[in-house]
Structure 1
Amino acid sequence: MSKSTIEWTSKTWNPTTGCTIFSKECDNCYAKTMSKRLQAMGQEKYSAGFDVFVEHLSELNEPYKWKEPSMVFVNSMSDLFHKECNIDFLKQIFEVMNKTPLHTYQVLTKRDVELLKLSPELNWTDNIWMGVSVGSVASVRKIERLRQCGAKHKFLSVEPLIEELPDLDLTGIDWVIVGGESGSVNIRPMEKEWVLKIKKNVKIKMFLFSSNSGGV
């Protein structure tokens, strides 16, 4: 666990690490860049590199140690619904979240098909928020599968927003985060008009413009 500089959370928790390219929003993945830095610093957890999905059993005890209520971004350096995540380990992660209602867990995925397929096997307690990444027109389809999953609280991470999106149907969506691409090389620009187009469909209390791009 570590304190987070991401504006919409307070801590990050990574019971798995590693991921693979899934969509064009992934082209300048901040987590891949960060993983390389951590690997170069000799951090054992990232020794396998970013392209290898690794489950970290030792991380399952961490949330039980936190005494203050926290907003926790789950897997800022990976994706719980990656095809290589073992369903039994995924259930163990959910059990930890179920047993620590003091904290609110923000789970974010790009893999909406896996989310919907595995959703019936998971225990969606009130403290688990589920989100999908929607930064391009091709990703808008994910919203409907998010609506169908068992999570009681649902959100969109529209970051990195790399192109103008059509008017979004936000029925059943509780929170929308919008942000541009982070980094310093080959960053794709985000236009103000794209953000305003999304905001007009969102209640103010549901909308957050993030200057950080975070998440997988």
Structure 2
Amino acid sequence: MKGAINMAGNSHIEWTEATWNPVTGCSKVSEGCKNCYALTMAKRLKAMDNPRYVNGFDVTLHHDLIEMPLRWKKPKKIFVNSMSDMFHENIPLDFIKEVFKVMNEAHWHTFQILTKRSQRLLDVSAELKWTDNIWQGVSVENNRVTDRIDHLRQTPAKVKFLSCEPLLGSLPNLNLDGIHWVIVGGESGARARPMKEEWVYEIRDQCVEQEVAFFFKQWGGVQKFRNGRLLDGRTWDEYPEVDNVINA
């Protein structure tokens, strides 16, 4: 499909299988946004005259892509809005409801939503239908934004997760009550900020202690593939035990 680049399809993101972008574009809200990969990619795609990015990185709704997951018959883990933020203030609630309606109908898929705008998530969450196949997460890059976890905890989402990527500081006192999954990763790219080993072990140990699934995505760095994703000589690719979560 013309213009479908980075809109939907197979993903190289380690913790998902596909991406779906009914919205593109965003704006920066915290330190984790400083070197936004999606902004860089959007600029490149606009320069390539990709029709989906005529607005660059301004928030843009793609109504014609909303029903795309219904055409994918094989079950997938789908990262929703990898090029935006579902709860951005410029996305109308009615549009969010349309996206949720498709996720409700496409029950054979697992949808993974990630936001930095946890207050809006909480504000509108009661107006959305949270079927079991919708996993909701918040980004927690350092101790300054841990309030996002409290907002997430108050939503009706059955499966709740944290993305500590890019991890920019120590998170020594995580309250993981009601949280089912934690992803950790270092920043990558030319301006990658460093991630200390002890920060990773600190979170891993808290997940083990509190019996929360732990997924280590990458060490990151300017050339992330050189650094890999091994921790203690092994990969950590844990996922939440969904049946136990839903039936709890």
Normalising to structure 1: TM-score of the pair?
0.95
CA RMSD after TM alignment: 1.2
Q: Cα offset for 1:205? A: 6.5
Q: Partner residue of 2:93?
A: 87
Matched, 1:75 2:85: no
**Selected match of 1:201 from 206, 218, 236:** 206
| AA at the equivalent of 1:135 | E
Aligned residues with identical type, % of pairs = 51
Aligned counterpart for 1:129 among listed residues 111, 114, 135? 135
Query: What residue ranges of structure 2 are gaps of 5+ in the alignment?
Result: 1-7, 221-248
Q: Which residue number corresponds to residue 11 of structure 2? A: 4
Which structure 2 residues correspond to residues 44-59 of structure 1 after superposition, within 5 A? Answer: 44-50=51-57, 52-59=58-65
AA matched with 2:40? T
Helix, strand or coil: the match of 1:45? helix
Instruction: Give, in angstroms, the shift of residue 135 of structure 1.
Output: 0.5
Q: Which has the larger radius of gyration?
A: 2
Answer whether contact 1:178 1:195 (CA < 8 A) is retained.
yes
The 5 Å alignment of 1:113-152 reads 113-152=119-158
Give yes or no for the alignment of 1:100 onto 2:110: no
Q: Name the SS for the 1:28 alignment partner.
A: coil
2:25 to 4, 18, 22: 18
Q: Could you list the per-position Cα deviations for residues 42-86 of structure 1 after superposition, in whole angstroms to 9, with x for gaps in the alignment? A: 211111011x11111001121111010000000000001000000
Question: Which residue identity is paired with 1:26?
Answer: C
Aligned residues: 211
Q: Which runs of 5+ in 1 are unaligned?
A: none
Query: Post-superposition shift, 1:182?
Result: 1.7
Displacement of 1:212 after TM fit? 7.8
Cα distance change on mapping 1:205 and 1:119 into 2, 3 Å: closer
User: Structure 2 counterpart of 1:48, which letter?
Assistant: N
Question: What is the CA distance between 1:99 and its match in structure 2?
Answer: 0.2
Task: Name the SS for the 1:121 alignment partner.
Answer: coil
Q: Which residue number in structure 1 is paired with residue 194 of structure 2?
A: 189
Contact in 2 for aligned 1:73/1:105 (Cα 8 Å): yes
SS at match of 2:95: helix
Measure the CA separation in 2 of the matches of 1:131 and 1:118: 15
> Could you state the TM-score of these two structures normalised by the residue count of structure 2?
0.83
1:29 lines up with 2:36 in the alignment: yes
Tell me the amino acid that sits aligned with residue 44 of structure 2. R
Please give the secondary structure, in 2, of the residue aligned with 1:150. coil
Tell me which residue corresponds to 1:157.
163
Shift of 1:166: 2.7
Could you tell me how far apart the structure 2 residues matched to 1:40 and 1:67 are?
A: 34
SS in 1 for 2:126: helix
- SS in structure 1 opposite 2:85? coil
Q: Hey, what's the Cα distance between the residues in 2 that align with 1:137 and 1:149?
A: 21
Contact 2:103 2:111 in 1 (8 A): yes
Structure 2 residue 65 is matched with structure 1 residue 64:
no
Cα drift, residue 164 of structure 1: 1.3
The ranges of structure 1 where at least 4 consecutive aligned residues each deviate by more than 3 angstroms after the TM superposition are none
Aligned mates of 1:91, 1:76 — CA distance in 2: 18
Query: 1:6 touches 1:212 (CA, 8 Å); kept in 2?
Result: no
Q: Deviations over 1:151-191 (max 9, x none)?
A: 0100000000011123201011110000011212x211001
Give, in whole Å, the separation in 2 of the partners of 1:70 and 1:124. 18
